[in-house]
Structure 1
């Protein structure tokens, strides 16, 4: 009996030791490890549609979304910037980053090696060419021309598929040294004939590089998503899916889409060319006044310059049919309140316009966060502060947020309809014009920032194009 008891106790102790060893060796999930360390690393790329640094610091569509994900997890975000797409995927494979947020399209080839979050944007791939040359309308038109795309890109995969299934005689080149922006510049300058870009990138960059146009769309809509390493541990991937399905994230995506893409259609090819010409001819003459006014009133001088262009095309003696005059188109009453004695004096007009914008911004108060506060300030400059407040109240009554420009800009055009403006404090207003006014200024501002801050990058890209052949991998035809 004693022997049986000893054996039983020995067995139980052995089982307990085994269970302890097993439970003690359970490794924390990837998500648990990230939370224990208090940080997560994202790998991305420099691009106007993903991540870049401006005078305010880190910014970009993908950066803001990744930062929101880090906040959702309660950890710090570390950003790793890769030189090219190959390095992005290498960073995931080697655990240098936990996820990639770089405007990556979900493709069958990529799904073999990586897993993806919920899609957050839809794009199509477009073939671009230099305006003034023969427009390509189909794959056959690329034959004989020089087509270059980034290595490891979805564009390279699209061309390979087209070569195998449709045009075995198709040939192109791939580069790991130049990005989409560089290649768009090279198409514009004639260094190469064609390239492929995603529709969101073309929409973002066409005003900066107006010499490029879309030949044809080569793919149907594709989904952009974050990439994660293929692993049995789905904890972080599942967390990202919960993040994208949350109501707060859906609202933030709507805000990001408005902020980065909501104004892009306002500047067409002709308007962009005219603006660039006027920038070269006139801007330097008035830049010191814009800089001075911006410094006094805590604005970016390029924003004030964009307002001046929208108002008068930088014409100091401009006069409208309503009687507003000068480069910043001040009314007689406003000029008097601001101490502007001569509305046709460019310096007085610019300094006065900056002070007036500052006054309107102060009236809005800090409850409206930037950049929405600036966009509403611009709308008030155009349509009047009272009408802006009417639109904000109307946005609220319609279930929107009166502190978000994306909701207020939907309400402003309604002020021209009697059934809406009859119940407002200030009555009828040309609200649609105010929306167009703001969106135009945003686009002009984008171009001025691009010209001002990307000049060195563009010059560097042009120098690299002289040595393009050494950086290319030529993909020969199958025939």
Structure 2
């Protein structure tokens, strides 16, 4: 009897264990992967920073390269994008560890210190750490010249880590680290003399050069950084694999290069004097013609800031401007173009602006419909400068050289070939100063950016918002002392 009872007990225990194993296995199979969970919930949670290079509210809504990438990835997954932007770097990593978000898309550098705990997506940009100085002061040649100066860097960045490494060779070097400010703040502080130097990434300096014109690059620190999205190392790799596939696809299609060009491809053309002159004319000359630009842009469905930027590039907003070739007025129209656009007096500012708006609108419509924005507008601007026929010649050359004739980033590389006889002798319209439309478009893009920046801040003033965040005693700097 006892043996029978023990046998029954063992059988019952074994059965229970088998049932439990089956149950646990079933539960395990039913637990969705991280990617499946995101799709089931229908929401992708992204952490970012509120900066010009990542995410910000522009005059037409959310903007920034990280925002654009995140929006594309949410569409790629077929889910809604949820962005939280009021974070510093340390907070982003902590929130990811705690499972409060799926991805950090915040201009983050790949960190060797964190690579054991986080996944990094394929890098989407390489940047240089730059020492920024005020151009009204003597330009430092190297780290030796920075000893004893006020230097600042954003805490948690690879630039801060690099400075610690370099300190072994420059033991008297010291600096301040802060999580309360962003690169834009540091650049502004250098501009205003509140700091001697700042260390920021090259893309951060590029996007701010037009607004802080006394801040300039002194020299690069000796190591590039890779920018990438970051994810926590969770229970599976499904989200990481999806992000990896997404970036691989963007790179293969050339869309990532397009995006980099859109945000940074035109930043190097204007020099300090050119920007200062433009800002002076924005204050003193532009108000006389502002209403005409806005009204004409509305009539012809253009962005008034783009139209105004074209007018400035053409004539510096001078209604009596004249070129050696005979084009006249604010929008520098030829006699034939003026006649076609219904302009009877090219020196009349209003007529010229309306004629230029109508002509630009016509050129945009003339670009093949398959060409998407903003390439469509950049090509229309190039044809405003060099002529539609020469633009088509450059597109044919681009296609001949196995590049994409529908992408401005490719066409602009080949427009200068119209200056070389070996190429222009094969074209329908012949020789053209092909470098001019490249510079022309890049300058207009820069003027457009500055006007957009001013317009956004004017709107903020109207709404009684703070335009620039003041630096006060509440800002915490972590002082990094020299190694003794």
Task: Name the SS for the 1:389 alignment partner.
Answer: helix
Judge conservation of contact 1:42–1:78 (CA < 8 Å) in 2.
yes
- Residues 394, 11 of structure 1: alpha-carbon distance in 2 compared, 3 angstrom cutoff: farther
Aligned to 2:424: 421
Moved more, 420-429 or 405-414: 420-429
Aligned to 2:114: 110
- Residues 337, 470 of structure 1: alpha-carbon distance in 2 compared, 3 angstrom cutoff: closer
Aligned to 1:160: 164
Partners of 2:449 and 2:20 in 1: how far apart? 64
Structure 1 residues 432-467: Cα deviation after superposition (integer angstroms, max 9, x where no partner): 21122111111111122122224659x9475622x1
- 1:32 matched to 2:40? The reply is no
Aligned to 1:329: 332
- 1:90 matched to 2:62? The reply is no
Judge conservation of contact 2:59–2:452 (CA < 8 Å) in 1.
no
Task: Tell me by how many angstroms 1:142 deviates.
Answer: 2.3
Judge conservation of contact 2:38–2:44 (CA < 8 Å) in 1.
yes
RMSD: 2.7
Aligned to 1:464: 470
Judge conservation of contact 1:128–1:213 (CA < 8 Å) in 2.
yes
Task: Tell me by how many angstroms 1:353 deviates.
Answer: 0.6
Task: Tell me by how many angstroms 1:265 deviates.
Answer: 1.6
- 1:17 matched to 2:19? The reply is yes
Aligned residues: 474
Task: Name the SS for the 1:103 alignment partner.
Answer: coil
Aligned to 2:183: 180
- 1:475 matched to 2:480? The reply is yes
- 1:210 matched to 2:216? The reply is no
Aligned to 1:392: 395
Moved more, 318-327 or 418-427: 418-427
Task: Tell me by how many angstroms 1:233 deviates.
Answer: 2.5
- 1:132 matched to 2:136? The reply is yes
Partners of 2:228 and 2:193 in 1: how far apart? 33
Judge conservation of contact 1:182–1:461 (CA < 8 Å) in 2.
no
Task: Tell me by how many angstroms 1:401 deviates.
Answer: 2.7
Task: Tell me by how many angstroms 1:242 deviates.
Answer: 2.6
- 1:268 matched to 2:274? The reply is no
Judge conservation of contact 1:342–1:348 (CA < 8 Å) in 2.
yes
Aligned to 1:290: 293
Partners of 1:142 and 1:337 in 2: how far apart? 60
Partners of 2:468 and 2:71 in 1: how far apart? 33
Aligned to 2:304: 301
Task: Tell me by how many angstroms 1:375 deviates.
Answer: 0.6
Partners of 2:250 and 2:296 in 1: how far apart? 41
Greater fraction helix: 1
Task: Name the SS for the 1:168 alignment partner.
Answer: coil
- Residues 463, 105 of structure 1: alpha-carbon distance in 2 compared, 3 angstrom cutoff: closer
**Which one of the candidate residues 376, 384, 390 is aligned to 1:373?**
376
Task: Tell me by how many angstroms 1:113 deviates.
Answer: 4.2
Task: Tell me by how many angstroms 1:253 deviates.
Answer: 0.9
Judge conservation of contact 1:117–1:227 (CA < 8 Å) in 2.
yes
- 1:411 matched to 2:414? The reply is yes
Structure 1: segments with no counterpart, 5+ residues: none
Moved more, 263-272 or 323-332: 263-272
Task: Name the SS for the 1:329 alignment partner.
Answer: coil
Aligned to 2:124: 120
- 1:66 matched to 2:70? The reply is yes
- Residues 139, 285 of structure 1: alpha-carbon distance in 2 compared, 3 angstrom cutoff: same
Task: Name the SS for the 2:268 alignment partner.
Answer: helix
Partners of 1:476 and 1:162 in 2: how far apart? 13
Partners of 1:418 and 1:138 in 2: how far apart? 44
Please report the TM-score for the alignment, with normalisation by the length of structure 2.
0.90
- Residues 425, 207 of structure 1: alpha-carbon distance in 2 compared, 3 angstrom cutoff: same
Task: Name the SS for the 2:170 alignment partner.
Answer: coil
Task: Tell me by how many angstroms 1:470 deviates.
Answer: 4.7
Structure 2: segments with no counterpart, 5+ residues: none
Task: Tell me by how many angstroms 1:170 deviates.
Answer: 2.8
Aligned to 2:150: 146
Task: Tell me by how many angstroms 1:273 deviates.
Answer: 2.2
Task: Tell me by how many angstroms 1:125 deviates.
Answer: 0.6
- Residues 278, 461 of structure 1: alpha-carbon distance in 2 compared, 3 angstrom cutoff: closer
Please report the TM-score for the alignment, with normalisation by the length of structure 1.
0.91
How do 1:209-288 residues align onto structure 2 when only pairs under 5 Å count? 209-246=212-249, 251-288=254-291
- Residues 28, 342 of structure 1: alpha-carbon distance in 2 compared, 3 angstrom cutoff: same
Task: Name the SS for the 1:149 alignment partner.
Answer: strand
- Residues 426, 343 of structure 1: alpha-carbon distance in 2 compared, 3 angstrom cutoff: same
Moved more, 129-138 or 95-104: 129-138
Partners of 2:365 and 2:235 in 1: how far apart? 54
Partners of 1:149 and 1:228 in 2: how far apart? 24
Task: Name the SS for the 1:79 alignment partner.
Answer: strand
